[in-house]
């Protein structure tokens, strides 16, 4: 049997003077949702700067406040089955985000045909009257209940974590970057936006005629930007790596070519960009519903990493996490289960990596595993399974068993959960922005910010990001 949330009161059951109240705290999400529902995009009613140069705190729309009358009338008095006839409202003051409003409706007059007139009053937490008015409704004549059936969940994509990373780069010098084969709109617009933001100084490596044609067709300003001429994509990748050895650039950005082409040159034993540490890739994701950035690794380079390769993958990810302001990254080594099972090799390797971190073979973070996806990122799931861990339910880095698992996880978060994603190759002599051909200019700019912050951390041992 379903629990009952509310039972209405019929016209005959209501007497003049009867009253009911509800309390509601105004949130920033309320303002955004109301703007979507009403179509009112007045910037004075939206949280944060909306390009109007207005630094004043956002004011809740009057009609949002007035709509609280209907909440009491529809839920409590008269309750389910009530129909509006008219409403008048006088706004005496303004409500803002964080205000707790109490709305009270009092039966004032009973008329024919089940019509009741109610006085309405809204006051804030300080007792200040925000609105007063009158509502005329048709009260129900039959008993009706409101079952406790949940509405569909709404999720706002308020993804601003990358904005903070980009802002943190403002005091750092731009990174000289070879943009390898930027021969389509996204791969050319992205680095030029990053250059405009002061993140990089781009050198465009590729066929000059194609680059200039793309710029002209899409209105992308490349005036004053050096173009290093190459005949085709493979030559572009080779030349980009050579520019690193020549000391002309301190980073690479993938353009309109396949990842294998640029990675082939990066990981070459002779003439590549190898270091003593295994090269790996990390996605950094700003996912709705998660209040911190999430790093997923390795989803692009190491197909079936062994234990020692995974140790380097974990260390690379910890270094990146520290570079973007996570002082002591919490690393979940993923498996299908949260207990060691010899039949599942990833669970055994996860336990081994945890012990390696405990013994100081992996440093700078808190590593735990095996953990399944649910108990890695959801605290309730971890508690339900009785997992005692500093990482479970709080993971900031997810280390996947293999490339297939990581690629599917990252793309599910991106295309299903609508996470913003940026990517970086780690463990090479310089950071490599391995963006996807499907990435937009914002993703490429975020990847550029990652590269700037990572290079700064490698150089100084300090993060330029505070409070992420």
Separation CA 383–CA 466 (nearest Å) = 30
So what's the pLDDT on residue 47? 80
DSSP code per residue over 303-330:
SS--HHHHHHHHHHHHHHHHHTT-SS-E
Tens digits of per-residue pLDDT, 112-155?
999 999 999 999 999 999 999 999 999 999 998 876 656 777 76
313 assigned to some structural domain: yes
Whether the per-residue pLDDT at 3 is higher than 70: the answer is no
Give the pLDDT confidence score for residue 460 in this predicted structure: 93
Band (81; pLDDT cuts 50, 70, 90): very high
Instruction: Say if 98 falls within a structural domain.
Output: yes
Of 112, 147, 182, the domain-final residue = 147
Coil/strand/helix, residue 139: coil
Dist CA 191 CA 449 (whole Å): 11
Nearest to 297 by CA among 447, 444, 401, 164: 401
Separation CA 51–CA 424 (nearest Å): 31
Residue at 456 is within a domain: no
The sign of the torsion formed by the CA atoms of 318, 319, 323, 328 equals: positive
* pLDDT at residue 54 tops 50: no
Out of 43-47, 128-132, 255-259, 397-401, least confident range: 43-47
Where helices occur in 172-323 by DSSP H, the ranges are 185-196, 208-218, 233-245, 259-266, 307-323
Domain for residue 152, yes or no?
A: no
157: confidence class by pLDDT, cuts 50, 70, 90: low
Q: Average pLDDT in the 399-410 region?
A: 95
The CATH number of the domain holding residue 356 is: 3.40.718.10
Question: Edge-to-edge strands of the sheet including 366-371?
Answer: 227-229, 200-206, 175-180, 251-254, 432-433, 420-426, 280-286, 294-297, 397-399, 330-334, 366-371
Shortest CA distance to 231 belongs to which of 207, 212, 256, 209? 207
**Once rounded to an integer, what is the mean pLDDT over residues 285-294?**
87
Residue 217 has pLDDT above 80, yes or no: yes
**357 in a structural domain:** yes
What is the number of structural domains in the chain?
Answer: 2
CATH of the domain at 97: 3.10.129.10
Tell whether 208 is covered by a domain.
no
Is 95 a member of any domain? Answer: yes
Structural domain that includes position 76: 4-147
What's the predicted TM-score (pTM) here?
0.74
204 domain-assigned: no
């Amino acid at each position: 049997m379903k629990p009952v949330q509310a039972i209405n009161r019929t016209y005959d059951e209501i007497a003049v003077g009867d009253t009911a109240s509800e309390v509601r705290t105004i949130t920033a999400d309320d303002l955004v949702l109301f703007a979507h529902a009403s179509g009112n995009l007045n910037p004075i009613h939206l949280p944060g700067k909306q390009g109007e140069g207005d630094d004043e705190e956002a004011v809740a729309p009057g009609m949002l406040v007035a709509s609280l009358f209907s909440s009491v009338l529809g839920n409590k008095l008269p309750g389910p089955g009530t129909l509006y006839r008219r409403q008048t409202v006088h706004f005496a003051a303004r409500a803002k985000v964080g205000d707790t409003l109490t709305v009270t409706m009092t039966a004032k007059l009973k008329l024919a045909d089940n019509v009741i007139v109610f006085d309405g009053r809204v006051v804030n937490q300080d007792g200040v009257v925000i609105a007063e008015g009158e509502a005329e409704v048709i009260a129900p004549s039959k008993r009706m209940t409101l079952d406790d059936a949940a509405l569909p969940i709404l999720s706002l994509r308020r993804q601003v974590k990358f904005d903070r990373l980009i802002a943190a780069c403002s005091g750092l010098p731009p990174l000289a970057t070879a943009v390898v084969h930027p021969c389509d709109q996204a791969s050319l617009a992205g680095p030029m936006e990053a250059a405009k933001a002061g993140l990089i100084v781009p050198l465009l490596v590729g066929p000059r005629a194609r680059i200039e044609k793309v710029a002209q067709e899409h209105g992308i300003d490349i005036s004053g930007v050096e173009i290093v001429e190459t005949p085709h994509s493979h030559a572009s990748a080779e030349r980009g790596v050579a520019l690193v050895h020549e000391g002309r650039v301190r980073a690479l950005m993938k353009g309109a070519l396949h990842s294998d082409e640029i990675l082939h040159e990066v990981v070459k034993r002779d003439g590549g960009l190898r270091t003593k540490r295994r090269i790996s890739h990390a996605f950094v994701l700003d996912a709705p519903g998660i209040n911190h950035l999430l790093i997923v690794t390795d989803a692009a380079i190491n197909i079936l990493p062994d234990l020692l390769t995974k140790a380097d993958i974990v260390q690379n990810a910890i270094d990146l996490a520290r570079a973007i302001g996570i002082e002591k990254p919490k690393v979940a080594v993923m498996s299908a289960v949260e207990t060691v099972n010899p039949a599942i090799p990833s669970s055994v390797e996860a336990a081994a990596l945890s012990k390696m971190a405990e013994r100081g073979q992996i440093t700078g973070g808190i590593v735990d595993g095996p953990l399944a996806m649910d108990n890695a990122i959801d605290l309730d799931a971890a508690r339900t399974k009785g997992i005692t861990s500093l990482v479970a339910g709080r993971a900031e880095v997810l280390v996947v068993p293999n490339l297939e698992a990581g690629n599917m996880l990252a793309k599910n978060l991106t295309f299903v959960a609508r996470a913003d994603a940026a990517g970086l190759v780690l463990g090479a002599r310089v950071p490599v922005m391995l963006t996807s051909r499907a990435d937009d200019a914002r993703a490429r700019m975020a990847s550029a910010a990652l590269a700037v912050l990572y290079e700064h951390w490698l150089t100084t041992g300090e993060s330029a990001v505070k409070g992420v």
